[in-house]
Homo-oligomer: A and B are copies of this chain.
Amino acid sequence: MVQIRVQEEIFDPGEEVNAFSRSLQGAGAMVSFTGIVRDRPEGGLDALEIEHYPGMTESALTEIAAEAMERWALTDALIVHRFGRLQLGEPIMMVATAAPHRGDAFASAEFLMDYLKSRAPFWKKEFVATGEAWVEARAEDEEALERWQGES
């Protein structure tokens, strides 16, 4: 089963992991990834604001999850992604995947993350004491997508 949630409210990664795990049917391997608001290397982050494209966000995440379910032998997949204003240390998003075999659970979670980073319509802005700035896309994130394009 695939679950997609886009929400402003904070969520509890541990509760998500347990709820996901209770819903599993016969999967022996479960992988989760949680993204957390962290400070900039130079410090001083006050908050993070995430803008998204309501409507397109849900359909993009649904499509990415459907592709993961098709590529790997998964039993379940979950994507939770927040928008709005987030404080340092808060969870930003998470993905979880479950499969009979660990290789499928790992690969699909990484695939979801790589696609979500660069293909789901979210934009992050950092607020520091001296001002605010949009987070720039990283070339590494774009390159991370390439490894999935050769495989089918």
Chain B residues, Cβ within 8 Å of A110: 102, 106
Taking the nearest CB of chain B, how far is it from the CB of A93, in angstroms? Answer: 11
Q: Is the CB of A144 within 8 A of B30?
A: no
Q: Is the CB of A36 within 8 A of B28?
A: yes
Within the assembled complex, what's the spacing in Å between the Cα atoms of A17 and B110?
18
| Binary CB contact string for chain A from 1 to 42 against chain B (1 if under 8 A, 0 otherwise) | 000000000001111111001001011111111111111000
Chain B residues, Cβ within 8 Å of A33: 29-31, 102, 105-106
- Contact pick for A17, options B27, B34, B109, B113, CB 8 Å: B34
Q: Is the CB of A35 within 8 A of B31?
A: no
Taking the nearest CB of chain B, how far is it from the CB of A135, in angstroms? Answer: 12
With contact pairs A31-B33, A103-B144 given, residues A26 and B13 touching in the complex (Cβ less than 8 Å) = no
Taking the nearest CB of chain B, how far is it from the CB of A8, in angstroms? Answer: 20
13 new A-B contacts at CB < 8 Å, known A14-B21, A21-B36, A106-B110: A13-B18, A14-B16, A17-B34, A21-B91, A24-B36, A28-B36, A28-B37, A28-B38, A31-B31, A35-B102, A102-B110, A103-B140, A106-B113
Chain A contacts to B: CB under 8 angstroms: 12-18, 21, 24, 26-39, 91, 100, 102-103, 105-106, 109-110, 113, 140, 144
